Amino acid sequence: MEYLIEYGIFLLKAVTFVMAVLFLFAGMLALASKGKLREKGRLIISKINKQYEKMALQIQRETLSKKAFKKIKKKNKTNSADLFEKRIFVIKFQGDVRATAVESLRQEISAILTSATTDDEVLLILESPGGLVHSYGLAASQIVRLREKNIPITCAIDKVAASGGYLMASVANKILAAPFAIIGSIGVLAQIPNFNRYLEQHNIDFEQMSAGEYKRTLTLFGKNTDKGREKFQEELEEVHQQFKSHVKDYRPQLDINAIATGEHWLANRAIELKLVDELITSDDYLQQACQHAALYHVKYEHKKHLTEKFSRSLSSVINRCWTSWLQNNAQPY
């Protein structure tokens, strides 16, 4: 027991020392960078064709005779991707509830617009179950920027593009999907708990003041009214109508009233409903495209803030110390 106490004191001292050093280091960096213009992020461009060529050469080197391999290698030099006139810019969007990836998406599209022509293509690899209306509305508007410049857009869905995810996908000229991808959910959802009865049972008053009849239609703690519910439902219906109009504008072939019920479908059914155009994975599409086009993966990477780097470093130190303590504490004495 005495050993455990001594070890615990040592552990606290070690963590305290490390924290002090990290705080000092953070302060020095903050002072050094004060007044300087910081780079918010960087654009990373990588050639996808080269990646496929490397994989193919590796397989061929191990499976073919030396003579056959030399012949293939020579042929590849004459069919270099640098000779292709068409370019396909590949961007990826991994969606969450707040569509936080839109911050990178807007930078990537801005970069592409500085160079792309109507002879090129943008492939958006999209995964999203949807989320906040205004966030996904902005994400869809970024893709509209490409449409307005007549740059062909293909959207590839390998897993899911539902609700706000499909709001984005619908802007594309062509939508591809893996057979078991989830597609659709053209609807609007809002839900909120109400604790008013609980507060009344415990004699707790709740006061809420507002200016404007519909400043707050539904509330967490106050008593909701039928009038407030009706207004809230009216607002949901308005958003839903705009959602339907948006999808219909970009995919006029759809029977919008039949599919805008909030339902979702697997892609092999969604293609029958004309929600998608082709059943194919993004991997297959890219491998086929690399035979006739130069593929470029465009990624905007945000620079990590000092506080984020510091918190991760501190968390790592604490985790290591905690793991060490658990390992020692688990030993019999």
Question: Contact 144/110 with Cβ under 8 angstroms?
Answer: no
Can you state the angle between helices 48-63 and 282-289, rounded to 10 degrees?
Answer: 90
Structure-token match 């500085």, residue found = 114
Return the H-helix or E-strand segment holding 48.
helix 48-63
Q: What is the CA radius of gyration of the chain?
A: 28
Catalytic site includes residue 215: yes
Q: Residue 113 corresponds to which tokens in the numbers above?
A: 């617009």
Return the H-helix or E-strand segment holding 333.
none
Residue at 17: amino acid letter? F
Helices and strands of the chain, counted as H and E runs:
12, 10
Task: Say which of 34, 67, 75, 215 is annotated catalytic.
Answer: 215
Residue at 299: amino acid letter? K
Q: CA-to-CA distance for 245 and 36, rounded, in angstroms? A: 46
The DSSP secondary-structure symbol of 40 reads -
The full DSSP string for 263-299 is -EEEHHHHTTTTS-SEE--HHHHHHHHTTTSEEEEEE
User: For the stretch 212-243, what's the b/e string if a residue is b when 16 or more beta carbons lie within 10 angstroms of its beta carbon?
Assistant: eeeeebbbeebebeeebeeebeeeeeeebeeb
Residue at 127: amino acid letter? E
Collapsing DSSP to helix, strand or coil, 176 comes out as strand
Return the H-helix or E-strand segment holding 244.
helix 226-250
Catalytic site includes residue 311: no
Give the N- to C-terminal CA distance of the chain in Å, as an integer.
Answer: 8
Q: CA-to-CA distance for 268 and 182, rounded, in angstroms? A: 9
Task: Say which of 128, 135, 163, 282 is annotated catalytic.
Answer: 163
Q: Catalytic amino acids?
A: 163, 215
